[in-house]
């Protein structure tokens, strides 16, 4: 066999080894991510069982309360209400109603009060009953993504927003707010629905991706082995 032919014969082997190594590396990374998300889910389940943290006027770091149960006492401010659009409940389109709870004149905390069905005429917002006095609110502290995926640049139409971020709310209303949102699950006679899905940590998705990458690695090696055997038979070796 000529030197050129010998060198060319190594190319499929090197390509197969590189493809297999890449598949194994990416599969292992996905498994690692799955383990991390599983640990995060376990942390969430543990924190949700812990005694609730009382939210006061003192500023709280979001990382100290995220995914924990919290409670707060104050008065809702309906004039600053935001309706987060395109929220489905059992196939019915509606809104999440987010409203600041005034803890004092120096501090507010945002509360996702729950879901309300939209009206056939989208130019009219559904009415939401709001207690006039002080209330006790409890729920899970959540931190919305700072840069959510949005379908257009028109992210705000009056009170109707595509998504809620703490930064966007703060810019719109210039209120001193805590850096998280309480996803309310305590009962209030307001007609809102509070049926929250548990957070989707995407654990199974990472493991599924890992299987795909491992299969790619195996396919590369099997493909090389089959073609190598056929080539040797063809050459009479």
Distances (CA, A) of 124 to 20, 87, 107, 118, 131: 57, 16, 31, 9, 22
| 114, 96 contact by CB (below 8 A) | yes
| 76, 131 contact by CB (below 8 A) | yes
- Predicted structure pTM score: 0.72
What is the rounded distance in angstroms from the CA atom of residue 109 to the CA atom of residue 173?
A: 13
State in Å, rounded, how far the first CA of the chain is from the last one: 12
| 164, 144 contact by CB (below 8 A) | yes
| 209, 30 contact by CB (below 8 A) | yes
- The radius of gyration of the chain from alpha carbons, rounded to an integer in Å, stands at 27
DSSP bridge partners of 161: 84, 156
pLDDT for the residue numbered 152: 61
Distances (CA, A) of 68 to 5, 38, 54, 187, 209: 65, 17, 11, 18, 30
pLDDT beneath 70, residues of the chain: 1-9, 149-154, 199-200, 228-229, 232, 235-237
Instruction: Give residue-wise pLDDT tens across range 15-59.
Output: 888 888 988 898 899 889 888 888 777 877 777 777 888 998 888
Sign of CA dihedral 176, 178, 180, 184: negative
What is the rounded distance in angstroms from the CA atom of residue 215 to the CA atom of residue 207?
A: 12
Structure tokens at 71: 């409670």
Q: Which of 122, 119, 114, 75 is nearest to 97 (CA)?
A: 114
pLDDT for the residue numbered 16: 82
């Amino acid at each position: 066999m000529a030197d050129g032919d010998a060198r060319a014969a190594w190319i499929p082997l090197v390509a197969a080894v590189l493809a297999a190594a890449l598949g194994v590396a990416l599969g292992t990374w996905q498994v690692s991510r799955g383990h991390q998300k599983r640990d995060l889910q376990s942390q969430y389940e543990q924190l949700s069982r812990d005694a609730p943290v009382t939210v006061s006027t003192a500023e709280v770091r979001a990382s100290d309360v995220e995914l924990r149960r919290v409670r707060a006492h104050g008065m809702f401010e309906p004039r600053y209400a935001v309706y987060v659009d395109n929220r489905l409940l059992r196939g019915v389109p509606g809104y999440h109603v987010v409203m600041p709870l005034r803890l004092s004149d120096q501090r507010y905390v945002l509360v996702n009060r729950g879901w309300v069905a939209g009206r056939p005429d989208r130019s009219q917002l559904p009415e939401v009953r709001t207690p006039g006095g002080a209330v006790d609110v409890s729920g899970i502290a959540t931190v919305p993504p700072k840069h959510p995926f949005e379908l257009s640049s028109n992210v705000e139409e009056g009170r109707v927003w595509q998504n809620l971020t703490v930064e966007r709310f703060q810019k719109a209303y210039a209120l001193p707010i805590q850096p998280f949102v309480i996803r309310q699950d305590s009962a209030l006679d307001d007609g809102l629905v509070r049926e929250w899905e548990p957070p989707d940590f995407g654990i199974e998705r990472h493991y599924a991706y890992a299987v795909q990458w491992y299969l790619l690695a195996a396919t590369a090696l099997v493909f090389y082995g089959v073609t190598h055997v056929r080539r040797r038979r063809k050459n009479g070796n």
